[in-house]
Structure 1
């Protein structure tokens, strides 16, 4: 099962978190699209307006299955090794989900002010479709 992470490639915080996820996952579970890549997003019927509500996680083999904002963050955490334990504990705390959602919204809406904006868009070394091209390269050797 693979997932597609759509992130703000101009946001310092977003890029740093994507890089941490890339280091943990090494392209095994997640592939990435920056929100600025409107041509690729169009393949998934995602608009720039859709991206204004925060990061998006898509199940690659069932693109209608999507999470956005803090729900996407939680699902990514749940998918990581031992992450389900932490997400379950977080979700079991009364009011934690509501507070987490509000916290996410504040960070999302003020990310450039708080963390700064990159001068160039970050493109992951694990873009959508990279597994297919890596498999083809291995098969041709």
Structure 2
């Protein structure tokens, strides 16, 4: 009975799809942390590199190509509303108990521009600063190199 109640409860929760760069070490670490948070929404994380393997249609993505999706994280709402970059992070934080107040800061004049600018710089330098996983890695699981 508890399992049925849980699935009914989950069906009432808001659903957000989070698209991220599956080869970016910073992105992979951020996704791991986001999965640990107590969100009021059902968060589904999909690496952009796996979109071709996803058989469902994600609303709002028709106008975006893979290159655009890889420039920053995108959060997709059920109605197709897209939030990209810092706005995507803020959209997720709005669903997290104890961190919603951070989303409010994004509305303070000047802080949105600063947050977006900082996000762009970090996103542009993420491979240089945090490294990149092998393209064959998925969700941080990689084969170890062979020893000589």
| Structure 1 position 31 matched with structure 2 position 47 | no
Counterpart for residue 101 of structure 2: 85
**Greater gyration radius:** 2
Give the equivalent residue in structure 1 for 2:138.
122
Supply the distance in 1 between the matched residues of 2:71 and 2:55 (Cα, whole angstroms).
Answer: 15
**Which of structures 1 and 2 has the larger relative contact order (alpha carbons within 8 angstroms, sep 6+)?**
1
| 1:70-89 deviation digits (Å, cap 9, x = unpaired) | 11011111111132212213
8 Å CA contact 1:33, 1:123 repeated in 2: no
RMSD over aligned Cα atoms = 2.4
1:76 partner SS = helix
| Residues 1:41 and 1:57: Cα distance change in structure 2 (over 3 Å) | farther
State how far apart, in whole Å, the 1-side matches of 2:137 and 2:107 are. 33
How big is each residue's C-alpha offset from its partner over 1:116-140, in whole Å with a ceiling of 9 and x where there is no partner? 001243338xxxxxxxxxxxxxxxx
- State the match for 1:132 in structure 2: none
Equivalent pairs, count: 121
CA contact (8 A) 2:48 2:70 kept: no
Q: Please list, as runs of the form range in 1=range in 2, the aligned pairs for 1:1-141 lying within 5 A after superposition.
A: 1-25=14-38, 29-39=42-52, 40=54, 43-44=57-58, 45=62, 46-59=64-77, 61-62=78-79, 64-92=80-108, 94-119=109-134, 120-123=136-139
CA distance in 1, matches of 2:105, 2:114: 14
Structure with bigger helix share is 1
Contact 1:35-1:41 within 8 A present in 2 as well: no
